Amino acid sequence: AQRVTQPEKLLSVFKGAPVELKCNYSYSGSPELFWYVQYSRQRLQLLLRHISRESIKGFTADLNKGETSFHLKKPFAQEEDSAMYYCALSGLGAQKLVFGQGTRLTINP
């Protein structure tokens, strides 16, 4: 069965500090992993996906198949990073996404 776990419901860090949002997954095949972000009262939007290997808004995420993780990282948090973050998984070639429970990130000034 496919499962995505985000162990932290809430995460609070100070501006300028590093931030890491954890995501662990369970999937027997080759997964495709995504991070979506939802700013206050806005629609969800794609932040990044592991196959593109891009850095968006200073965020990066590396797929670690050994640890079945896809943690989201940023070296210096900014106040505008405050949002809800969702990790999601799709089986290779599949369409449906399975989402984690989400982590609400708050950046304190």
Partner 1 sequence: DAGITQSPRHKVTETGTPVTLRCHQTENHRYMYWYRQDPGHGLRLIHYSYGVKDTDKGEVSDGYSVSRSKTEDFLLTLESATSSQTSVYFCAISGRTGQGDAEQYFGPGTRLTVT
Binding residues for partner 1, rule: CB under 8 A, are 6, 9, 32, 34, 42-46, 49, 86, 90, 93-102
Asked if 85 and 37 count as a contact pair (C-beta separation under 8 A), the reply is yes
| Smallest gap from residue 4 Cβ to partner 1 (A) | 8
| Smallest gap from residue 95 Cβ to partner 1 (A) | 5
Distance linking the first and last C-alpha atoms of the chain: 41
Asked if 16 and 76 count as a contact pair (C-beta separation under 8 A), the reply is yes
* Cα 59 to the center of its chain, rounded Å: 9
| Smallest gap from residue 44 Cβ to partner 1 (A) | 4
Residue 77 or residue 87: which is nearer to partner 1 going by CB? 87
Residue 32 or residue 68: which is nearer to partner 1 going by CB? 32
Q: Which two tokens stand for residue 87?
A: 């990790």
